[in-house]
């Protein structure tokens, strides 16, 4: 899918968040995916100046695979109660204005969502290139590190993991896992 010169963002750094905040002021915002990043961005934008906020998702229940249908439905209801709209569908292409900026998202259904801002929140690939393939899920580069409940690799007792390397792209999870991994390294429960 060809991307317009302006208006489509990935949230990977504090600088990205500042650019998204600035672009969201008075804008129609669409977030692709129902990941943590997408839904946290939707909640932020709806509370901080966006004209409208829509989540474009493939599944009507966010987080269903992680937390179950009931929790996923509750998360969706909470976002909807704050003004976030959910559209179930798939992106076909981006529409651009005459200046090369984003003007909308064309869906495979034929519908178009107006948007001057789009945040792509469709997950992440763990940065595991520095690890031996034998420590990774399925032995494949780019796959998450395999660990036990103590966050230690069952294949190498000197390797511990936390956060993105495990395939969990949420900063609060990474913080908690970092503390738990440190405790495991120190032999503390």
Mean pLDDT of the chain: 91
Q: Which two tokens stand for residue 113?
A: 């969502």
Asked whether the predicted pLDDT for residue 156 surpasses 90, the reply is: yes
CB 119 within 8 A of CB 29: yes
Confidence at residue 170, expressed as pLDDT on a 0 to 100 scale: 67
CB 87 within 8 A of CB 54: yes
| Angle, CA of 7, 164 and 135, to the nearest 5° | 140
Confidence at residue 11, expressed as pLDDT on a 0 to 100 scale: 87
CATH top-level class for 8-120? alpha beta
Give span(s): CATH 3.50.50.60, the chain: 8-120
How many CA atoms lie within 13 Å of 33's alpha carbon, on the beta-carbon side?
Answer: 16
Question: Confidence band (pLDDT; 50, 70, 90) for 3?
Answer: confident
Confidence at residue 90, expressed as pLDDT on a 0 to 100 scale: 95
Confidence at residue 37, expressed as pLDDT on a 0 to 100 scale: 87
Q: What is the pLDDT of residues 96-105, one digit of tens each?
A: 999 989 999 9
Give the DSSP per-residue string, 51-110: SEEEEEESSSSTTHHHH-HHHHHHHHHHHHHTTEEEEE--EEEEEE-TTSBEEEEEETTS
Question: Confidence band (pLDDT; 50, 70, 90) for 112?
Answer: very high
Q: What is the pLDDT of residues 37-54, one digit of tens each?
A: 899 999 999 999 999 999
Percent of the chain exceeding pLDDT 70 equals: 96
Task: State pTM to two decimals.
Answer: 0.74
Q: What is the pLDDT of residues 67-86, one digit of tens each?
A: 889 999 999 999 999 999 99
Mean pLDDT of 113-134: 87
CB 112 within 8 A of CB 95: yes
Q: Given the structure tokens 């969502």, which residue do they identify?
A: 113
């Amino acid at each position: 899918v060809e991307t317009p010169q302006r208006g489509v963002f990935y949230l990977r750094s504090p600088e990205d968040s500042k650019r998204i905040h600035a672009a969201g002021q008075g804008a129609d915002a669409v977030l692709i995916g129902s990941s943590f990043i997408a839904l946290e961005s939707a909640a932020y934008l709806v509370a901080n100046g966006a004209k409208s906020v829509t989540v474009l998702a493939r599944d009507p229940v966010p987080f269903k695979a992680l937390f179950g249908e009931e929790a996923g439905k509750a998360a969706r209801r909470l976002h909807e109660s704050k003004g976030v709209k959910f559209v179930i569908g798939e992106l076909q292409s981006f529409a651009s204005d005459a200046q090369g900026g984003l003007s909308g998202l064309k869906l495979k259904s034929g519908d178009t969502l107006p948007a001057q801002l789009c945040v792509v929140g469709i997950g992440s690939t763990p940065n595991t290139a520095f690890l031996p393939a034998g420590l990774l899920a399925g032995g494949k580069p780019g796959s998450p590190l395999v660990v036990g409940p103590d966050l230690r690799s069952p294949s190498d007792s000197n390797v511990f993991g936390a956060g993105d390397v495990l395939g969990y792209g949420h900063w609060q999870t990474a913080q908690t896992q970092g503390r738990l991994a440190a405790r495991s390294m120190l032999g503390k429960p």
